[in-house]
Amino acid sequence: MADDRVGVIGLGYVGLPLALAFAEAGCEVIGVDVDEGKVAALMAGRSPIRDVPEEALRAALASGRFRATPTYAALAEVEAMFICVPTPYDAMRAPDLSYVKAAAEGIVPYLRQGHLVILQSTTYPGTTEEVVRPILERSGLRAGEDFDLAFSPERIDPGNREWTVRNTPKVVGGVTPRSTARAAALLSRLGAPVHPVSSPRVAEMSKLLENIFRSVNIALVNELALLCERMGINIWEVIEAAKTKPFGFMAFYPGPGVGGHCIPVDPYYLSWKAREYDFYTKFIELAAEVNQAMPFHVVHRTAEALDRYAGKGLRGARAFVLGVAYKRETDDPRNSPAGRIIELLLMRGAEVAYHDPYVPRFRVGGDAFRREERELASVPLEEGWLRWADVVVIVTGHRAVDYGKVVETARLVVDTCNATAGLPRCSAIVVRLGAPMAPFPE
């Protein structure tokens, strides 16, 4: 089967790049998203994602190989479909599979003999077979017999120009060897190598391993950063020294916490599932705990810096946060540590403003820490705001920000990501995460 007509459910950070890549590869692609505003924007050639240039979107529309719709009925026209919807966690850090279930239920009325369904949303081992398969089989068709079903984890790295959906190797595992082979053949049309595995559970676990590997190593270096602060050692200098070893070491960097759609979420997906087997992932959960604690440390460090260098506390202080995206050079604020940092600053009585060249509006609160929900708007990075602030807190080190201007104009800067490294000496006092503070002023 050629599988020349492809459906993609969920046109976000994962689904939209995938849809356009298949269109560029010569497939006819129908994108389904229940957000009618997003669909209208896409059909008008407006990309909601910084990683997807509008020129590429318009070219796909003009070719006739891509269109978007808010209705699942269009899936009756395709031969293969991908589920690329969010898999967040709830307030208790339990998996929220409501989007996956809704997508599977949307497929059921249009599922037919010979369809191929591939789940791409990051999730715990067993989701494809224990959650998606039973829903799809309500159609009366059997997975592996009447239609094919597989899991292939997304490997989108927002802001990464070198590794994209077109050249990043793919992993895929189907419910039967035929499902695996068919999904692998379709994915290979994107041009990257495809690595088949024995089952969807193996493919699901491989994605969790990739991201938990990062979570654990980021936690390690975050904990070392806290120790280095106490010992009067600069963790950034330590890492640069360790990087000179040509084998057996991979550099990870401390920061204000972890964010995005995977690293803060995946450890909890696995720990939740592990309890079904009377197994407790203590090591993995400890790493997640260290990373989740970093925003609290950033606020403590900010309060300490204000007390030391400005002789004042956080109550009534004016804090200017630079960067609220979870990662530099992206417009994605999901699970960004900036959210918790801003909440904590507000709770301690500070006035807060922020600047992010890629995130024009940012919502904070609405959780157990701060019940009141509030939407902030990015303000210009100009001299007036830098002079307004008692402290500038750099959370996300976007390269588009002029940090030379920041340290020349501001009075006090707390740098959580080493964005000011290498700048000449300036009038501002710069306090770096993971480095000793300068002596008390005379």
Task: Determine the Cα–Cα distance for residues 170 and 203; give it in Å rounded to an integer.
Answer: 10
Q: How buried is 392 (Cβ within 10 angstroms: 0-12 exposed, 13-18 middle, 19+ buried)? A: buried
| Collapsed DSSP state (helix, strand, coil) of residue 413 | strand
Q: How buried is 244 (Cβ within 10 angstroms: 0-12 exposed, 13-18 middle, 19+ buried)? A: exposed
**Dihedral of alpha carbons 227, 237, 396, 336, sign:** negative
CA nearest to 228, candidates 239, 242, 217: 239
* Cα separations in angstroms, 395 against 316, 389, 434: 21, 15, 14
Task: Determine the Cα–Cα distance for residues 123 and 132; give it in Å rounded to an integer.
Answer: 11
Confirm whether 228 is a catalytic residue: no
Task: Determine the Cα–Cα distance for residues 88 and 133; give it in Å rounded to an integer.
Answer: 20
Written as six digits, the tokens of 340 are 């918790």
Task: Determine the Cα–Cα distance for residues 309 and 324; give it in Å rounded to an integer.
Answer: 25
Strand-pairing partners, residue 362, are 376
Q: List helix spans (H) across 141-265.
A: 177-188, 200-231, 235-242
Contact 218, 263 (CB under 8 A): yes
Residue from 27, 84, 228, 262 carrying the catalytic annotation: 262
Written as six digits, the tokens of 159 are 């802001």
Task: Determine the Cα–Cα distance for residues 175 and 232; give it in Å rounded to an integer.
Answer: 55
CA nearest to 142, candidates 120, 100, 169, 114: 114
Catalytic residues: 262
